[in-house]
Amino acid sequence: MAAIKLGSTGSQVVALQQQLLQRGFDPGEINGSFGPPTEAAVRGFQQSIGLEPDGVVGPNTVAALNMPSVTSNVTVDSVSPMFPGTARVNIQFHLPYVLKSLLDVQLADKTMVLMALATIRAETASFLPIEEFQSSYNTPPGGPPFALYDNRADLGNLGPPDGELFKGRGFVQLTGRANYTHFSNVLSRGTQLVDNPDLAGDPEVAAQLLAAFLKDKEDRIRLALARNDLATARKLVNGGTHGLADFTDAFQRGQGQIPEPVQVQTG
């Protein structure tokens, strides 16, 4: 979706104006015309949730306007100690998506909530769905970005530009054509993730992918955690030990923070 901003018109602006009004930010007349009153309302809404108040309705603002209504005893206050140094607003913004996605696949118990949050800490301590950075592991010296992934059969890539198209994104760094195809089917999104890989970084989709990934390995993860084998639990997600120290630290911190039982409801 193209950004909606000053001068935009049409049905999307009407929907935007209605959403803003419902949240207590007066956009002026509901007329489908994005004028100064609507821009001011957008800025006010963005500021209220910690987004940059630029008055432009991009993916993050759209996601925020459609944030799930989640009631839970897993709160920002209880999660923040698991993420030392992380901006509180990032947790506040994304936690409802994560909790709802776990609830939707029946993983909203303390063990799996801890697993999900510790995984986020290990993959992206900022509590933001991020894109993979270029490094010597994915990009040859002086070569095209992510070219070392282009012909990786284990990732299902078919040659250039698959490496860059299907680089890691989200809370679990979904990587490779095969994974984008598989999880597009799991989420019942047809070919959306393959046709538009950037969708994996959308807050709602990133949370759904995290939950789906954990659900796919649920039995083995639960068995490892029952034995307090955090290294194996981490390996089931990452395939190795990358981020194990952060994963372990978050999981152990969370033991005293996340309540038992976890209670999550959506409105």
SS3 assignment, position 244: helix
Which pLDDT tens digit goes with each residue over 87-134? 888 898 899 999 999 999 999 999 999 999 999 999 999 999 999 999
* Nearest Cα to Cα of residue 171 among 114, 119, 113: 119
Res 67 pLDDT > 90: no
pTM for the full predicted model: 0.83
| pLDDT grade for 35, boundaries at 50, 70 and 90 | very high
Return the H-helix or E-strand segment holding 231: helix 230-238
- What topology is assigned to 11-65 in CATH? Muramoyl-pentapeptide Carboxypeptidase; domain 1 (1.10.101)
The CATH 1.10.101.10 portion of the chain extends over 11-65
Burial of 216 (0-12, 13-18, 19+ CB in 10 A): middle
